[in-house]
Structure 1
Amino acid sequence: MQAKDSSPPDGGYGWVVLVSAFMVMGLTVAVLKTFGLFFVEIQQHFDELASTTSWITSVTIAVFHLGAPVASSLCVQYTHRTVVITGGFLAFSGMALGYFGLNMCYLYWCFSGLGISFSWTPAISIVSHYFSKKRALANAIASAGECAFAFMFGPFFQWLISQYGWEGSLLIIGGIQLNICVCGVLMRPLASKFVLYAIFGILAAMSFFVPPLFLVPLSYSLGIDESWTASLLSILAMVDFGGRLLCGWYANLHVTKTIHLLAMTITLISTSLMLLPLANNYLSLAIFTGFYGFFFGTTVAIHITVLADVVGMPEFDSALGLFMLIRSTGGFLGPPLAGKLRQLTTKYSLQEEKGMVKLKRSGSWLVTSTGNQSGPFLYIYFVYLVNYKEGMEEQGTLSASQTLLSSSECTI
C-alpha cells in the first residue's frame, strides 16, 4: 500500500542526504577527473602508446553511462541506499584489483565504471526525492562535490604516487572509496506514510482497550464502592460521545490539519494518564477519567479521516481493510501484555517503596518522552498505576502489622 503523493520535505534529513550525495560525487567522478595523474605512470610502466592507455578512461566512462539504466531500475526494485552501498563495494574492488596491474587489458575493467555508475546514479536521484522547491539548488550543491574533491585530489594523488607508486596509490584510493558505503547508509529512503500510520495503529490498539479494563481494579484499590465504580464507566462513555462529536465538528472547520489534531489528542491522552496518580478519591478519579474519555473520543473520531488523508480516496477502501488487519495485532496483544505486566510488578517486595517511586518516575518519563505516539506506555503506565496503588495500601497494612507485632513482643 502506497501513500498518496506528497511534496518532498525540502530540508530536515534531506540535508544529510545532500551532504552524502556531495561526498559520493567527489569519491566517484572526481577520481575519474584526476585519472590523468596515473596516465603517464601506467603508460611508462607497460610501455604502451597513449591511445592504448586512454582506453582505460574510455571504457570506464562508457560503463559509467551504460550502467545508469541498470542502477535506476535497481533503485526501484530495492532502494537507493542498497544500490549506493553496492556501488561503493564495486568501486573499491576495482581499485583494489588494479593494484596487481597484470596488463593493460586487465586495467580496462579494473577501474570500475560500474561502481561509479551504481554510486553516482542513485545518489543524485535521491536528492530529487528529498527536495522540490529547492531541487535545482540541491542538485547543484551535490554535483559541486566532484569539483571540491578534484581540487583536493590533485595534489593528494600526486603525493600518493610519489610515496607508494601508482599501484599502491590505487589500493589506498580504493580504501577511501569505501566511504561511499557510509554515505549510502545515510541515504535512508522516505518511509511510506501508510507504513508509519499502520505502526501507529498497532501501538494505539495496544492501549485503546486497556484503561477501561483496569479502571475498575484501580477504583477498588482506592476503596471506592462498587456502584460508584460502575458510574465511572458511564462517565467514560458519556464524555467519549461528546468528544467524538465535538472533534468531528472542529475538524470539519479545517482550522487545523487532521493529522496535527490527531497528534494533539494523543498527547492529551498521554497527559491525562500521567496525571492519574493524583487521583486519591472518587471525585478526582472521575475527573481524570473524564479527561481520558474525552480525548479518547476525539482520537477515535478522526483517526479514520487521517487514514483517508494519508492514502487518498482511490485507495482508501483497501487501505482501511489492511489497516484494521494490521491493527488487530495490537488489540490482540495489549490486554494480555497488560495483565502479564501486572503479574510481574506484583512480585516486587512491598518494602521496596523507593524502587516503586523510581518506577513511577520512569513511567512519567516514558509518557513525556514518547510525545504524541500512542504506544505501549499507555497501558504500561495504567497497569503500573493500579499495582502501585494496591502496593501502597498493602505497604501500609504491612507496616501496621509489623508495629503491632513489635508491641506484642515488647509486652511479652
Structure 2
Amino acid sequence: MNNSEENVSLQSQKQDETEETNGFHGDSEGDVNTEKKASVPDGGWGWMVVFGCSFMHFLLGGYSRSFAVTYVEIREKFGSSAAITSWIGGINVGLRFFLGPLATSLSVKWGVRPVVMTGGIVMALFSLIGAWAPNEYFLFFSYSFGTALGGTLIYAPALILVNQYFDNHRSVATGLASAGSGLGVFVFPPLIKYLFNNFGFTGAFIILSSICLNNCVAGALYRPLPSKKQVAVVKKKVISEKSSNCGSMLPNAWRWINKHFGLSYLSEAVFGTYCLSMTLITLSYVSGHQLIVDLAKEQGVPDSKAVFLLSVIGITDTMGRLLSGFVFDFPFFRPRRQLYYCVSVFLSGGLLFGLGFSKDYLSFVLCSAFQGFFNGVVVCQRAVVIVDIVGMDKLSACFGLCVACQGFGVVFGPMIAGLLKDIYGSYVPSYIFVGSSCMAGGLMLLYSALRHQLVTQKAKKAALTVEVT
C-alpha cells in the first residue's frame, strides 16, 4: 500500500472513531457514497426552496389541520360516531408520518422534485375520489390512505432539502418554510366551511382536489443541490471488509431495511429517547386541534365563533414558527436550542390541559392563542433539533424515522380521545389526556436533551485529553 492509500485509510479510521465517540455510527452506504454535496449555499436559490416549502405547508397544513371542520361535516352526513370519525383524520396524519422513511428514501433515489410533484397528483386524485364516498368507511380509503400517501411524498423531502440548503441560517429558513402551515390553518377552516355550505359534500371535495394540485407548483421550485464527484476507493474497501464481517450475521431483509431506512439509529440512547418522547407529544398533535370546535360548542360557544378558534391557532402558530426561527439562531440560544424546545413542548401540553377546563369564549381564545404559538415552535424546529443531535449527514434517515415514530401518536391519539368522548359524553377527559401526554413527552425530551449535552461534553473532554497527550 502506498503513502496516499495509507493516509486515506488512517483518515477513515479516525472518522469512524469520532462517530463512535459522539454516539452515532455512520451508515456504511453514506460513508462510501461517491457523490457528496457541495458546500452549503446558505442562501441563493435556497430562498426559493424556502418559498416553495412554505407554500407547500400552506396547502398541506391548511388542508389536513382543518379536519375539525370536515369532522363535523362527516358526522352530520353519515351519522358516524366520534371515535370512527376521529380515526379517519388520525389515520390520515398517522400514515403520512409512518410513511416518512419511504418518502425520504425515494427522494434520495429519485430526487426531491419528482417525488413531491408525484405526491401532489396522488393527493389530488384521492381527494377527488372521496367526493363520492357512499359512507364514512370509504373515507378510510380515499382520505385516510390516499391523501396520506400523497401528503407524505410532499412533506418530508421538502423539509430535508431546506435544511441541506442552509447552515448558519437553518433555524430562520426552517421557520419561514413552515410558517405557511399557520397561515393555512387561518385560511382553510373558513374556506372549507364555506365550500361545504355552498357546494355540498361532493362539490367541496372536488374543489379541494384542485387546490391540492398546487403542490406540484411548489415541487417545481425544489432544485437539487449541485454535487461533486469524490472517489474513495481505499475507504470503500476498508468499509466493505467491515460490512462483510458483520453482515453475514444479519438477515438479508434486515440489512436491506437498515440500508434504506437506517433503523439502527433507533438503538442510540439519545435519538431513541427523542423519538419515544415525540410519540407521546404527537398523541395530542391531531386531537388538540381537531376536537376544539366541538369542545367549544359543548361549552355553549356559537358555531361561527368556535370555528374561528382554528384561525386564532393558525395566526399564533405562524408567529411561533417565525419568531423561533430567528431566536434559535442567536448565538446565545443556538447551543441551548434543545432546552428551550423542551420548555415549548411542556407549555404546549399545559395549555391543551387548560383548554379542557375553559368555560367562556375569552378563555378559549387565550388558551388557543398561546397553545398555537408554542405548537408552532415545536413543529417548526423539530428538524433543526434532530440536526443538533445526529448531524446533517444523518438527517434524511433520522428525520424519516422520527416522523414514523410520531405516526403512532397521531393514529392512536384521536382514537383514544374519541373513545373518551364516547365513554364520558364530554370532551373534557379527552383534553386532560392529550395535555398530560404532551407534558410527559416534554419531560422525556428534557431527559434526552440533558443526556445529549452530557455525551457531547464527555466527547469534548476526551478530545482535549488526546490532544494534550
Q: TM-score range by the shorter chain?
A: 0.3 to 0.5
TM (normalized to structure 2)? 0.41
In our comparison, the structure showing a higher alpha carbon Rg is 1
Could you say which structure has the greater relative contact order, defined with CA pairs below 8 angstroms and 6 or more residues apart? 2
